[in-house]
Amino acid sequence: MDSPAVPVPLDPQEQPILERLLRTRDSLLLLKQDKSSYIKSRDVLPLYEEVIAEVEKLNAVRKEQDERVARNRLDYVLDDCFQLISLLFLTIGKNNEAPAVYSLTTTVQRLLDHLEEAGFYGAKDLSSVTKTLQNMYSTLDRGRNTYSPALLTFLESRMRHCQTSLDKLQKGLTGLSPELLSTHETLISILRSTSAANTRSKFSTSEVKALQEQLKKIASTMKDGKFVSADGTLLAGQEGVKMLMERCQAWTEIVLERQGKIDERFRDQYERLVEIRNQLDRLSVTQAWSLRETDLFGYQRKLDRIDEARSNGNFVDAEGHLADIHAQRTLLYLIRRSYGYIYALLISSEPVSEALLPVYNQLQTLRRCLVEVKESGGVSNSRELYPYSMKLNSIDNMRVDGKFYVGTDIPEGQGSVNALLAECYDFVWELRAAVVDDDDNDDDENS
Position 28: which residue type? L
C-alpha 57/C-alpha 52 separation (Å) is 9
pTM of the model: 0.91
313-333 burial, b for 16+ CB within 10 Å, e for fewer? Answer: eebeeeeeeebbebbbbbbbb
With a CB cutoff of 8 Å and minimum separation 6, the contacts of 432 are 382, 385
Helices (H), 34-68: 41-63
- Which has the closest alpha carbon to 343: 48, 164, 125? 125
pLDDT of residue 175: 87
Position 68 scores a pLDDT of 56
d(CA 170, CA 167): 5
Angle between helices 414-446 and 386-396 (to 10 degrees): 150
pLDDT at 444: 47
pLDDT at residue 1 in the model = 40
- Give the chain's residues under pLDDT 50: 1-4, 443-447
Peptide bond into 4 cis (omega under 30): yes
Question: Is residue 24 within 8 Å of 83, Cβ to Cβ?
Answer: no
| Residue 425 main-chain phi, psi, to 5 deg | -60, -40
Give the burial string for 367-382 (b: 16+ CB within 10 Å, else e): eeebeebeeeebbeeb
Cβ atoms within 10 A of the Cβ of 176, count? 19
Helices (H), 92-236: 101-118, 123-142, 149-171, 181-198, 205-220
Q: Which H/E stretch holds residue 340? A: helix 325-347
Amino acid at 187: L
| CB distance 205 to 259 below 8 Å | yes
